[in-house]
Amino acid sequence: MTAKNKNTKVETIESVGEAVSKTEVFFKTYGKTLAYVGGGLVAIAAIIILYIQFYANPLKQEAQAQTFTAEQYFRAEDYDKALNGDGNALGFSQIIDEYGAKGGKAVYLYAGICQLQLGNAAEAIEYLNNYRTDDAILTARAIACTGDAYSILENNAEALKFYIQAADKVLSTSTSCSFNNVYAAAYLLKAGIICEEMGKPQEALVYYQRVKDNYPTTPEGYEIDKYITRIKVAE
């Protein structure tokens, strides 16, 4: 698979909106009545088709179109406008309020990162907890961002838990590439730093050593000796 195809795959995964079915409410209200009416099952099937054709699909397309401007602000690192809109185009938080996941699953990840960049850790966690994807690398990214949010909240025990989960998630993927190593090293480094802040230097040393042994050619690997030396000098 070429790099272009890999990028397209990730974009496709993130652009596919989840179906938010208002028909569930309809069936709870009217399902029993329809079941007793001749041709009730046919009527239900017809309602589903009509709902998808005339409501869900157009709404999904509209929602995804709304994300374009928000994504541009995100790439420009204008996180406030990406999250809250610019007065003309909607931001990710408004897209979620208006459309849910029809704007694409990534809207929750975008919104969570925006909140994180704006220093709103609790709000970031709420969005990140609602992010779902089958992609292990993106899942790990959301988990690590949740760890960052807990770190901001000075809940180091939770932060550590999420950094370890993020590293484990990256390492669980069957795809082997340099990006996986970079991400794994970054999450392990964060785990080590948090351990030091928690007064657990020996536990931190374990994570640092994993970076040194397994990911020596990553940016974290090139810098890891100073973290290891800091602990050993203090012993």
CATH at 222: 1.25.40.10
Answer whether residue 28 is part of any domain. Answer: no
3-state secondary structure the chain: CCHHHHHHHHHHHHHCCCCCCCHHHHHHHHHHHHHHCCCHHHHHHHHHHHHHHHHHHHHHHHHHHHHHHHHHHHHCCCHHHHHHCCCCCCCHHHHHHHHHHHHCCHHHHHHHHHHHHCCCHHHHHHHHHCCCCCCHHHHHHHHHHHHHHHHHCCCHHHHHHHHHHHHHHHHHCCCCCHHHHHHHHHHHHHHHHHHHHCCCHHHHHHHHHHHHHHCCCCHHHHHHHHHHHHHHHHC
Enclosing domain of residue 174: 135-235
Q: What is the pLDDT of residue 41?
A: 40
Decide which of 214 and 65 is more confident: 214
Number of domains in the chain: 1
Provide the mean pLDDT of the chain.
Answer: 76
pLDDT band at 67, cuts 50/70/90?
A: confident
Contact 40, 80 (CB under 8 A): no
Decide which of 202 and 44 is more confident: 202
Answer whether residue 174 is part of any domain. Answer: yes
b/e 147-179 (16+ beta carbons within 10 angstroms → b): bbbbbbeeebebbbbbbbbbbebbbebeeeeee
Q: What is the pLDDT of residue 212?
A: 94
pLDDT band at 77, cuts 50/70/90?
A: confident
Answer whether residue 223 is part of any domain. Answer: yes
Q: What is the pLDDT of residue 160?
A: 96
- Residue 168 above 50 pLDDT? yes
Can you tell me the mean pLDDT for 169-184?
A: 76
Q: What is the pLDDT of residue 127?
A: 95
Burial of 200 (0-12, 13-18, 19+ CB in 10 A): middle
Answer whether residue 58 is part of any domain. Answer: no
Answer whether residue 16 is part of any domain. Answer: no
Q: What is the pLDDT of residue 11?
A: 41
Answer whether residue 166 is part of any domain. Answer: yes
Answer whether residue 126 is part of any domain. Answer: no
Answer whether residue 91 is part of any domain. Answer: no
Q: Which two tokens stand for residue 203?
A: 């536990």
- Residue 176 above 80 pLDDT? no
Can you tell me the mean pLDDT for 71-88?
A: 92
pTM: 0.72
